[in-house]
Amino acid sequence: MGDAMTKKMTQQQILIAARALLAKRGGWGRHQLATNREGRGVPPGNQDAVTFCALGSLKHYGMAVIDADALLWQCVPGRWGSVAIYNDAPSTR
């Protein structure tokens, strides 16, 4: 899993780490939970993952999908309809 998985992280720690992961130049990805340097989809916990979608960044640090999706849904403005649509839209970069 993610590089911080050697210890149990709190939800707040996961959010902070995921935000930092996405803030890196080229860290935010689209249309896949995670991709490698060649742009191929890989599991978010894979050591070769270099870009992540919002959900993938949380999964990278061990957050369960259901918890991550519920948390992200609270952050996405209702007009988007889903976390995936928000994440993949060119205007949300």
Cross-strand bridge partners of residue 34: 52
Half-sphere exposure in the Cβ direction for 64 (13 Å, CA): 3
Digit-coded pLDDT (tens) for 63-82? 887 788 788 877 776 777 77
pLDDT bin (cut points 50, 70, 90) of residue 4 is very low
Look at the pTM and tell me if it is higher than 0.85: no
> Computed from CA positions of residues 67, 30, 82, 73, in that sequence, does the dihedral angle turn out positive or negative?
positive
